[in-house]
Amino acid sequence: MPKKRIEKVGGHDVLEELSIGMDRVKTNIPGLDKLLMGGLVRGRNILLSGPCGSGKTTLAMQFIFNGVMDCDEPGLYVTLEERKDKIISDMANFGFDLKRAEKTGKFYLLGGPVAGISSYMRNVDANIAHILREIEEIVKEHNIKRVVIDSLNLLMLLVKDQEERRRTIAAFCNVLSQLGCTAFFVSETKEGTMDISRFGVEEFIMDGVIVLYLVNQGSSFIPGIAVRKMRGSDHDKKIRVYNITSNGVVVYPDEIMLSEKDSLL
Ligand SMILES: Nc1ncnc2c1ncn2[C@@H]1O[C@H](COP(=O)(O)OP(=O)(O)OP(=O)(O)O)[C@@H](O)[C@H]1O
Ligand SMILES: [Mg+2]
């Protein structure tokens, strides 16, 4: 465990990590922890971006599911994209039994299709603060340690202005960090681009960025994964190969996706 010290800076309490060895949160996703030098840094927020079908939901759910089943860490998955029953059935396809996870009392699946959010939109008084407050309450009540927001793009439908978007994303990150949660924010990127976020601000706010690429080579798409940034930690800097298998996402940490002279970064 890292040593921690509370300091007063400008009237605010600042939690400073003085650790030599960081407190790591193991994803237990095959191969990924090796790219992360042992795991994610506890309490940090990570942007997980990639094009459609690249495995963002699968990878993010593995992080939560493994936390609940292997590490005794309660997890919250907020899906704004898919119906709950659909995500439960899709994940069963990979062997992630979310109903069994729910029975442990440590797994919480919140949301549903965009309908959940649009009901907020229809409510004149509604604003994004309501959603954040609801998440905050669940985290506190159930001692949640791992959170996924799938997806940040849909959440941002509620926010029209770029400056407001930046503030909102920062607010989500700060609240979850202060509650000690390690969080993935899922972000869809445009097909065939090397963009790492939708609005171009997300990657600067988050502590870490993991990008999934699908690179067109001949008649197929080659999946690549890169840890683009991880504040406070060293990490692998290359684009590695990954695959979506019948057991979920598997990363091949020793296989480089492209030859050294090619670069996507
Ligand atoms: N049993 C399986 N074995 C191998 N691959 C699978 C299996 N089931 C699904 N897949 C692959 O996983 C992909 C879906 O992954 P996932 O939903 O995690 O991607 P995503 O990046 O979240 O997509 P979206 O952008 O649509 O939300 C499918 O398109 C398919 O290629
Ligand atoms: Mg998805």
Class of residue 192 by CB neighbours under 10 A (exposed 0-12, middle 13-18, buried 19+): exposed
Tokens standing for 23?
A: 């407190």
Asked if residue 112 is part of any domain, the answer here is: yes
Query: Is 13 part of any domain?
Result: no
| Residue 199 CB neighbour total at 10 angstroms | 16
Ligand 1 centroid–CA 191 distance in Å is 15
Q: Could you tell me if residue 17 is inside a domain?
A: no
* pLDDT tens across the length of the chain (265 residues): 444 444 444 433 333 343 346 799 999 999 999 999 999 999 999 999 999 999 999 999 999 999 999 999 999 999 987 788 899 999 999 999 999 999 999 999 987 655 455 565 555 445 688 889 889 999 999 999 999 999 999 888 888 889 999 999 999 999 999 999 999 999 999 877 778 998 889 999 999 999 999 988 888 888 999 999 999 999 999 999 999 999 999 999 999 986 544 445 4
For residues 187 and 47, the answer to whether their CB atoms sit within 8 Å is yes
> DSSP character for 85?
H
Q: Residue 111 C-alpha to ligand 1 middle, in angstroms?
A: 20
Half-sphere exposure of 8 (CA within 13 A, CB side): 1
Site to substitute for ligand 1 among 244, 246, 249, most atoms within 8 A of C-beta: 244
Is residue 148 one of the residues assigned to a domain? yes
pTM of the model: 0.88
- The count of domains in the chain is 1
Cβ 14 vs Cβ 31: under 8 Å: no
229 belongs to a structural domain: yes
CA of 110 relative to ligand 1 center, distance in Å: 20
Residue 177 lies inside a defined structural domain of this protein: yes
CATH for 59: 3.40.50.300
239 domain residue, yes or no: yes
Q: Which domain holds residue 54?
A: 28-256
Is residue 207 included in any domain, yes or no? yes
